[in-house]
Chain A
């Protein structure tokens, strides 16, 4: 989904940068607010950013098509830390990828941040909470959020590219031309991202439900039904981050 350097005409690159900037500012504000309410919020954001940096750089081969692609990681990040913070994490991860790996680019960083953070993060977060309201269990909510959140990233990239470069061609023609290249490689990886998202959520819920309660992914009433796995380490987690 990384749009290469120079691929966008300047007005579109600037517009996408402005859009990403607005979401980035909202993410920074959200992080500052949550850091006051949730212990270890900044540290968890750092770890999750490193995770998104890694998975969105990880080429996973798809033998059926003879190509490789990568997951997004932002649906899980948004579910755990909030959709606003996922934009912040995306921009930082993509900046390092552009600088050190020539993956994406600086002029296209705004566009790439919007696709990964907004399309992937917000879609994943909305789907997860929608499905949780429908009483779907944690794994399947996470699976569908991860699966469709991943695909949303690629639909976002196709939309942005088609809007910017369609020129005299119809938008739909360019959109379809780009999307049909993405989808055959991406849908198996989207399934993997769905499984990964669901399993991570289930694993944390089984072993450290206090973390999900602290991040408000699970309601506080779950603490009674899911006692802490390791009382001492849970206490340490809650206490850390407090100075002296």
Chain B
């Protein structure tokens, strides 16, 4: 009984947080962004600094295309090695 109360309590708390964040959608930047801003100040003095990614996938639907290609390759590969991974099914 006590364990069940805990489980329901945690579930309601979790859903409450999700609903709160969904309704109020507070803008919360990542801590990495703040750190990058601080680090940038020092990095620029030693000739470094944040740059765009070497392989920029933020171009139209390129990322979606890459996910589709990745999914297809992974799917074919998992199918190919299925028996090695999971053994024979049935008797």
Contacts and interface: CB of A to CB of B under 8 A. Distances in A.
B67 A107 contact: no
Interface string A163-201: 011111100001001100110011000000000000000
**A contact residues, range:** 35 or more
B35 A182 contact: yes
A193 B39 CA distance: 26
Residue from A42, A168, A181, A182 whose CB has the most chain B CB atoms within 10 Å: A181
A244 B48 contact: no
Contact of A165 (B32, B33, B46, B51): B46
B48 A164 contact: yes
Residue from A7, A107, A186, A242 whose CB has the most chain B CB atoms within 10 Å: A7
Interface in B38-65: 38-40, 42-43, 45-58, 63
Interface in A225-242: 239-242
B49 A6 contact: yes
Contacts of B34: 67, 181
A182 B31 contact: yes
Contacts of A66: 26, 28
Nearest to B47: A9
Contact of A67 (B31, B39, B40, B47): B31
Nearest to B33: A67
A8 B67 contact: no
Contacts of B38: 177-178, 181
A106 interface: yes
Contacts of B63: 100
A59 to B, nearest CB: 6
Contact of A244 (B40, B66, B67, B88): B88
Interface of A: 1-9, 42-43, 59, 61-63, 65-69, 98-100, 102, 105-107, 157, 161, 164-169, 174, 177-178, 181-182, 185-186, 239-244
Interface of B: 21, 26, 28-36, 38-40, 42-43, 45-58, 63, 66-67, 83-88
